Amino acid sequence: MTHIVAGNIAPEFSLKSLDQKEYSLRALLEHGPVVAAFFKISCPVCQFTFPFLERLHQCYGSASATFLAISQDDARATKSFASEYGLTFPLVLDADGYPVSNAYGLTNVPTIFLIDPDGKVKVSSMGFDKKELETIARELAERRKMALTPLFRPDEVIPANKPG
């Protein structure tokens, strides 16, 4: 379980992406909500979850919402993961003792946070949770004043959850 739950203030962080660009939570929140998704490349539940995060990003990510994947692996492995799962949103590295993962109190991955522009956590989700991903989609659609696009297709058999 993470100690950062809905209603808590998200700890500030600043991490470098694969292309050495600096991403700080404070700066990202100036542009709208942030979906921060922590992962490890060897995690099967992360491998299952991240294509759905990419779908969310394709529907709702824009100048008004930032998606950020926070990797607990090195740059080479993280780049390979992004390529294999078709991720187009930024990936940053939480290396050398996982300072950001520890600040967020993570014990499992994937762990996904929807952080409002005021810094408060709106959704805190551990593992794969279908309802919580749909909640993130609904929140982002409402914020952008657009119709909700179904995250899961009718032909997909998706479990309600998978523990991380």
Q: How far apart are CA 3 and CA 148, in angstroms?
A: 30
| Gap between the Cα atoms of 115 and 36, Å rounded | 8
- Tens digit of each residue's pLDDT (9 = 90 or more) over 56-96: 999 998 777 999 999 999 999 999 999 999 999 999 999 88
CATH code, 23-151: 3.40.30.10
- Model-level pTM? 0.95
Q: Residue 99: is the preceding peptide bond cis (ω within 30°)?
A: no
Strands 66-71 and 91-93: parallel
Strand partners, 38: 70, 111
Q: Taking 60 as the threshold, does the pLDDT of residue 1 lie above it?
A: no
- Report residue 2's pLDDT band, with 50, 70 and 90 as the boundaries: low
**Closest to 67 in 3D by CA, of 79, 42, 46, 50:** 50
Please name the helix (run of DSSP H) or strand (run of DSSP E) that holds residue 123, with its range, or none: strand 121-126
DSSP per-residue letters across 74-108 = -HHHHHHHHHHTT--S-EEE--SS-HHHHHTT--S
Provide the pLDDT for residue 10. 97
Which pLDDT score, from 0 to 100, does residue 164 have? 82
Mean pLDDT of 26-46: 96
